[in-house]
Amino acid sequence: MPDQDPVAANDASPDPAPGAAASRTTPPPPLLINAQYVRDLTIRVPGAPAIYAQLGQMRPHVNLHLDIGVRPVADGQPVFEVTLSVQCSILTHQPAEGADAPATACVVDMAYSGIFTLNNVAQEAVEPLLVAEAPRLLFPFARNLLADVTREAGFAPVLLQPIDFGALWQARRAQAQGQAQAQGQTQAQTQNPS
């Protein structure tokens, strides 16, 4: 019996035709993450060290502001930097009418960014990908960073709840369209007074 390579003898798959390998490759996803990083991070504890003596009596109240920024990385290329900005203030207690104003225990300003490439994306899909999907991908990392930073500052970690960036984008878009329609009606009335 002639010597045979056992792997070759058991390999019953035919050799692919030229170009068949290329046809089996899948197209790249429409949104690629090239990099992600902490763009900016500042933490301040304005009342330190005295604020730490109040930790036991504190009923903290968190004020949070979230914003999304998108800017092209290079002209003429579908590569964008998307930044999720978080401004978080931890107050000693919830503000109430007639009560003493709460002291600020901690302030965190954070910008978490990613570089994203769009592949063969229709123009109408660009905005939702960059202002809804990209922030959704960045959010878990920004959330983790905020929790770690507030814990390391000596406070209970601030745990952000999941955010539906798609719903936020749709709400902002509807609001902008409503404002544009109202402005258009106002302009029409001033041009054609009855």
State the 10-residue block means of pLDDT for the chain, 194 residues long.
Answer: 48 51 72 96 94 87 95 93 97 86 93 96 93 96 97 94 92 84 66 59
Please return the burial class of 108, using the count of CB atoms within 10 Å of its CB with bins 0-12, 13-18 and 19+.
buried
Q: What is the pLDDT of residue 18?
A: 55
Residues 6+ positions from 60 with CB-CB distance below 8 Å? 90, 91, 92, 93, 105, 155, 156
Q: What is the pLDDT of residue 13?
A: 46
Is residue 31 within 8 Å of 116, Cβ to Cβ? yes
Q: Count the Cβ atoms, other than its own, within 10 Å of residue 165.
A: 21
Q: What is the pLDDT of residue 172?
A: 86
Q: What is the DSSP letter of 133?
A: I
**39-155, what's its fold?**
Bacterial Protein-export protein SecB (3.10.420)
HSE (side-chain half, CA atoms, 13 Å) at 5: 4
